[in-house]
Structure 1
Amino acid sequence: MAFTMTTETLKGLLKEAHENGYAYPAINVSNLDTGIAAMAGLEQARSAGFIQISIGAAKQASPVNDPVEGSIVLGRVLRDLRKSQHVPIAIHTDHCHADVVDTWLVPLLKELKVLKDAGEEQIFDSFMFDGSHDEIHDNVATIRRLLPLVRDVDGLLEVEAGGKWGGMEDGVADKAVFSTPEDVKEIQRTFEDAGLTADDYLLAVAFGNAHGTAVVPDLHPELLSEIAEKTGERNLYVFHGGSGSPDDDVRAAVANGVVKMNVDTDTQYAYTAGVDGFFVEADGVQRSHREGKKFFDPRHWNAAGRKSMTEKVVEVAELLGSAGHAQSVEYRSVLDPVTAR
C-alpha cells in the first residue's frame, strides 16, 4: 500500500506520535543511494519517518551548485522513490539559516508554487527555518514572512526557538545555550496570530543538543516539559542533533514531547563504514580491470553502504519507538481511509 502524503496526513502522524509516546526518524540524505537506504530502513522497521535534505545536499545535486535546482532534482527523486514504499514518508528541507533564506528557501517555495500551479505532484511536505542564531524578534519576523509561502504549497513549517547549539557544525565548541520559555512563547504567538495551533507546526528547542559527534551533548530533556508547562502550550518538539546522543536521553526526550529526531552523522558514518568494510574484505584479492570488476564496480560497494545505513535507520526507529506502528489498522485509517478498509 502506497501512502499519499498531505498536510493533514502529516499532522495526523505527528499527533498520533505525540499521543502515543514515540517519535519518527528524520534521516538526512544526499543522493540516490542514501535515499534508498533511508527508505529501506523505514520500510524494514515498519515506521513512518522523514527523509530530509540540507542546503549542502541540494547544492551537490545541482550541476551549477544551485540549491533551488538541486532541491527540486533530489526532491523529485525522493518523491518517486517513496511510491514503492509501504510506510508513510515525508520529504523535508532541513536547516535553512537566516543568511540563506532569500537564496534557498524563499526562491524554492516560489518555484514549488509555480510547479504546483502547473499541475505537478507535490515534491516537499515540510520545510525548516533555523532562526536559532537570530534575536527572537528577527526570528519571528522571518517566520511571518515564510508562512504564506509554505501554505501556498500545502506544506508544514518547522522552526527553531532561540538558543545556541553545541557542536563544531554550529560554530559553538563549548556548551549550548538553552532555549527559554519566553522565546518559545514569542514563536507560539506568531503562529497563533496566523490562525494556527501547536498541531500545525514543528518546534525545535535547544536543550543541550550538539550537532555531529565532536562535542558530547549535555542534554536536559526535562526542559521540554518545563517549557510546555510555562507557556501553557503542548508542542510538537523536534530533537536536533540526535547522532551520538545517549539512548536514555533520547527516550527521555521522546517522553517529554519529541515527535521527530534528526539523524545525519550516525547514518553518514554507517554508510561509509559499510563501504569501507567492503574494501577491507576485498584486500588481498586481485582487483585489476580484468579480474576485479566485482570490487571496483560502484554497484557493489554502494550496496554495502546501503545495507549498513539501512540497518542503522532500523536501530533509530526502534530506539524512538516508531518501529511497527505503520502497520496498525488505526494508523492506516488516519492516513488513507480507502486503502485501510
Structure 2
Amino acid sequence: MPVADYETYCKMLDNAYKNKFAYPAINVTSEITANAALKAFADLKSDGIIQVSTGGGKFASGINVGDMVAGAISIAEHVHRIAEKYDINVALHTDHCPPNAVETFMVPLIEESEKRVAEGKLPLFSSHMLDASGLPIEENMDLSVPIFERMAKIGQILEVEAGVVGGEEDGAAGSEDTPDDKLYTTPEDMVYVYKRLSAVKGGRYMFAATFGNVHGAYKPGVVKLDPSILKKGQDAIKAEFGDDAYFWLVFHGGSGSEKAKIEETLDYGVVKMNVDTDTQYAFTRAIADHMFKNYDGILKVDGEVGNKKFYDPRVYLKAGEEAMANRIKEAIIDLRAENKSLNLAGASA
C-alpha cells in the first residue's frame, strides 16, 4: 500500500486508541533499517510508523553532505516507493525536532510536503514531532500552535511533548541529570496542551506526556515509570472538556521497558511507542556475530585473499536487517499490534 494518507493515518490511531494497542515507531537511518521496519510490520500484519530524527537524516545524506533535510527526504522517498510493495499501512514521521532546528529541519520538510500536495501528491511525511519540552509550557505551545495550523492545512499530524524524557538519544531534549520532577507531566500541563491544540480547526495531534521515561538502555530498576500519570492526565481533560476529550498519547524511551508497564500505558491511551536503542543493538549484534564467526574469511592476513562471501557488505547487512526486523516484531507483540492492520478483513476501525 502507499504511505498512509491523512484519513488512513487518523483511522490507524483511532483504531489503536479504541482497541488498546499501539504502533511501534521505529527510528531509521538508512534504506536498510527502513526495510527492516517494513518487513517486521508486514510479517506480523501490523501497520506501523517509520521515523527519522535530525541525526538520522544527517547520517543518511552521507559523510560529505551531512544535510539532515536531504537525508530525511531521501529515506522518506525510499519508503514511499517500497511501501507500495506491501499490504500494510505505514506512516512517516520525524522525531524530536528541537526549537533551534525548526527553521533548518522541520520547516523545509513541511515546505517539501506543501509542494507535493500542490501537485496532487501525498505529503512527504505524515507527521512531525516538535519537541519544545525544554521550554516553559506557554512558550512550548506558542511555538507549536502556528506550525500545527500550517501542517493541518496539508493533512499532517503534529506530535508535541511536555515534560522531559530523561537520558540522551540523538538530539533528544533530556539529559542524564534531568531533575526527577521534570520527568512527569502534570495534569495541569495536559489540560493546557489540550486547550491550546484543540483550538486548531481540523487538526489532529499526538501528545508525548512524560511519566518517568528515559531514552537509552538501562539496567532493570533504574528507570521508574509511573503510567498512572497518563491516566490522571486523561481524566483531567475529560473533567475539563467532557467525556469525548482524550489524547492520542506517545511513549518515548520504549527500549528496555518492562512489558507490564508497556501494557499499562496502552490502557491509558498510548497509541505510539518509539523504539530505537533496542533495534540499534539488534542490528549491530548480528553484524558483530558475523564478524567474529567469520574472522578468517573477512580479513586478508598472512598473504591470504579472504573470502568474498563473508566480507561482501550485503551478507552482514542482510543479517543486521533480519535481526532488527525480529526485534521490531517483539515490540509489535508487546504493543498488541499483531494482526491489527486496517487492511485485514474484519479489522476494527
Correspondence 1:84-233 to 2 at 5 A: 84-161=85-162, 163-169=163-169, 170-173=174-177, 175=180, 177-196=183-202, 200-214=204-218, 216-232=222-238, 233=245
- Partners of 2:154 and 2:55 in 1: how far apart? 23
Q: CA deviation at 1:97?
A: 1.0
User: Residues 136 and 119 of structure 1: is their aligned pair in 2 closer, same or farther, counting only changes over 3 Å?
Assistant: same
- The amino acid across from 2:347 in the alignment is Y
Q: Which residue of 2 aligns with 1:269?
A: 281
1:316 corresponds, among 318, 331, 348, to 331
- Partners of 1:188 and 1:194 in 2: how far apart? 10
- Partners of 2:198 and 2:168 in 1: how far apart? 34
- The amino acid across from 2:338 in the alignment is A
Identity %: 33
Instruction: Report whether the alignment pairs 1:303 with 2:318.
Output: yes
User: Residues 195 and 118 of structure 1: is their aligned pair in 2 closer, same or farther, counting only changes over 3 Å?
Assistant: closer
Q: 1:125, 1:156 within 8 Å by CA — same for their partners in 2?
A: yes
- The amino acid across from 2:86 in the alignment is Q
Q: 2:2, 2:80 within 8 Å by CA — same for their partners in 1?
A: no
Structural RMSD (CA): 1.9
User: Residues 256 and 95 of structure 1: is their aligned pair in 2 closer, same or farther, counting only changes over 3 Å?
Assistant: same
> Cα deviations across residues 249-281 of structure 1 (Å, max 9, x unaligned)?
111111221111000000011000111111122
Q: CA deviation at 1:62?
A: 2.5
- Partners of 2:89 and 2:119 in 1: how far apart? 25
TM-score by length of 2: 0.89
- Partners of 1:138 and 1:196 in 2: how far apart? 23
- Partners of 2:107 and 2:139 in 1: how far apart? 16
Q: CA deviation at 1:120?
A: 4.5
1:293 corresponds, among 308, 316, 331, to 308
> Cα deviations across residues 76-100 of structure 1 (Å, max 9, x unaligned)?
0111121111111101111111111
- The amino acid across from 1:132 in the alignment is S
Correspondence 1:25-40 to 2 at 5 A: 25-40=24-39
- Partners of 1:18 and 1:82 in 2: how far apart? 24
Q: Secondary structure at the match of 1:329?
A: coil
- Partners of 2:66 and 2:213 in 1: how far apart? 30
Q: 1:166, 1:217 within 8 Å by CA — same for their partners in 2?
A: no
Instruction: Report whether the alignment pairs 1:43 with 2:42.
Output: yes
Q: CA deviation at 1:152?
A: 3.5
Q: Which residue of 2 aligns with 1:338?
A: none
Q: 1:106, 1:149 within 8 Å by CA — same for their partners in 2?
A: no
Correspondence 1:1-40 to 2 at 5 A: 2-3=1-2, 5-40=4-39
Q: CA deviation at 1:173?
A: 3.0
Q: CA deviation at 1:45?
A: 1.3
Q: CA deviation at 1:102?
A: 1.4
Q: Which residue of 2 aligns with 1:256?
A: 268
Q: Which residue of 1 aligns with 2:345?
A: 329
User: Residues 286 and 47 of structure 1: is their aligned pair in 2 closer, same or farther, counting only changes over 3 Å?
Assistant: closer
Q: Secondary structure at the match of 1:278?
A: helix
Q: 1:167, 1:214 within 8 Å by CA — same for their partners in 2?
A: no
- Partners of 1:177 and 1:264 in 2: how far apart? 19
Unaligned runs of 5+ in 2: 239-244
Q: Secondary structure at the match of 2:347?
A: helix
Q: CA deviation at 1:325?
A: 1.3
Q: Secondary structure at the match of 1:5?
A: coil
- The amino acid across from 1:310 in the alignment is A
User: Residues 28 and 231 of structure 1: is their aligned pair in 2 closer, same or farther, counting only changes over 3 Å?
Assistant: same
Q: Secondary structure at the match of 1:330?
A: coil
TM-score by length of 1: 0.91
- Partners of 1:212 and 1:286 in 2: how far apart? 31
Structure with greater helix percent: 1
Q: CA deviation at 1:25?
A: 0.6
Matched residue count: 329
- The amino acid across from 1:164 in the alignment is V
- The amino acid across from 1:167 in the alignment is G
- Partners of 1:120 and 1:71 in 2: how far apart? 18
> Cα deviations across residues 139-175 of structure 1 (Å, max 9, x unaligned)?
11111121132123321111112x1222144213354
